[in-house]
Structure 1
Amino acid sequence: MKQKYAVVILLALILASGLTSFKSFRATERVVAEDMACALTKALDQQHSDVISSDTIRVFNSYLKLDELRGNAVLAVTTRQDGLRCEPKCAAATIFAMSDQRPASVLWTMALLWAFFCFWHYRKQVSLVAFGGLAYAEAEGRFYDAKGQQVKLTPMQQQLMEMFFRSESHQLSKTEICEALWPKKDDANDTLYTLIRRLKPIIEAHSDLKIESDRGRAYELKVK
């Protein structure tokens, strides 16, 4: 999967979780406001007065239908153009705690898991072994030049280049190459020569490397 698509999916999950959380909060906020308004109306009707006292608060709490509001909802006096007015208040943290955040939590968890997966996946992909202007992406099994363009190789050329890159000295004996690439062939010298002859111009065109022969006994990948 391309990196931009992974980012789009991650952003979509984050946005969906945020919207789901906000929607649940707003729905709970409306329910809380209705419950508090109803409880306040009943409390004021019972005491036949707009004056707030400790009894008003006690009666107000007794009329609350939501158990979570009792002890958390408060009565406040606000100044209006027509005088003082009593209004119920509740902290946003309390409303958030009362709201159903399970769907949002699931989406947040999915977003985090996706983020960790993408981080692991793309970190693994960018694990490169570079030498002489040529880079080998082990996770992909591909070679790239200095411009980031993939170097097209045949399966045999690919295998041989992987052997060169995995060798600490970047040197391989003819016997070592033949046994690895043509294990069932008694004499693969001519085949190896042809493979090297066709591989050389490709490597030299895409990097600062060249393949040199060591007295016909070994081949070495060297920087020009």
Structure 2
Amino acid sequence: MKMMKQKYSVIVLFLLILASGATSFQSYQSTRSLVTRDMERALALTLKEQQSNVISADTIQLFNNNLLLEQLKGKAELAVDTRQQDFRCYAKCSAGTVFSLSDQRPASILWAAAMLWGFYCFYRRRKDVSSAFQPVCCYGGLGLSEADGRFYDAEGNRVNLTPMQQQLMEMFFRVPSHRLTKTEICEALWPKKEDASETLYTLIRRLKSVVEQHSDLKIEVDRGRAYELKIK
């Protein structure tokens, strides 16, 4: 369930970021079209009024006066295209100018929402990790979590156990003496098996290395009749 919630949280964060980017790009594109139309209209009107393709200080002044967008005046540029036989005057505007003229408030709101959601997810993740390690009991540097029923080492790292190893470790932890007889273990783990001795020996052998690697504990054998979880 927690993994599913985390998955949905990431999806929501991704959608917010995507919506912010799409809204910003859409606003930029619409503003660029508006700016282009205004510059082309102002340039055509300017060239018509001065009846010349020569750019001078008067041309620039007249061009600025013909612009309808007040924010564009003084920011648009006039240039001459010399790649053709006849010089052609054209207006242009930098991407930065277009972006500054575009309405980025909706995109900023979405981006702020994405940032807040990201911080919230990070906070919840840390809180979940912290709350996950609420040990029922600790013994020898190993703790059994009340929240998820998993074992964690002294640093809060989860100890990976097989389902059978998990069951046996829980049995050891829930007994005050941390001692279990062979009969108790076999009846709890393999109730329908007549002789589970070999299976138990294999389980204990593999569990020993895991326990000793992640804690200060060891499993002692009492002549094959009982097993005890002890501090080294």
TM surpasses 0.5: yes
Distance 1:119 1:23 in 2: 30
Distance 1:6 1:133 in 2: 33
Q: Name which of 54, 69, 74 aligns with 1:71.
A: 74
| Contact 1:29/1:95 (<8 A) preserved | yes
Matched position secondary structure for 2:75: coil
Compute the TM-score of the two structures, normalised by the length of structure 1. 0.64
Compute the TM-score of the two structures, normalised by the length of structure 2. 0.62
Q: Match for 1:53: what amino acid?
A: S
Give the drift of 1:97. Answer: 1.1
Q: Name which of 1, 9, 13 aligns with 2:16.
A: 13
Structure 2, unaligned runs of 5 or more: 152-157, 189-202, 212-216, 219-228
Distance 2:67 2:161 in 1: 66
Q: Match for 1:34: what amino acid?
A: R
| Contact 1:134/1:143 (<8 A) preserved | no
RMSD: 4.0
Name the % identity: 45
Give the drift of 1:16. Answer: 1.1
Which stretches of structure 1, 4 residues or more, deviate above 6 A after TM superposition? 148-152, 204-207
Structure 1, unaligned runs of 5 or more: 165-191, 211-220
1:40 is aligned to 2:43: yes
Q: Name which of 7, 25, 30 aligns with 2:28.
A: 25
Give the drift of 1:131. Answer: 6.0
Q: 1:133 to 1:78 in 2, by over 3 A?
A: farther
Matched position secondary structure for 2:82: strand
Distance 2:105 2:145 in 1: 41
Q: 1:30 to 1:123 in 2, by over 3 A?
A: same
1:106 alignment partner in structure 2 = 109
2:150 alignment partner in structure 1 = 143
Q: 1:135 to 1:37 in 2, by over 3 A?
A: farther
Q: Match for 1:14: what amino acid?
A: I
Give the drift of 1:89. Answer: 1.3
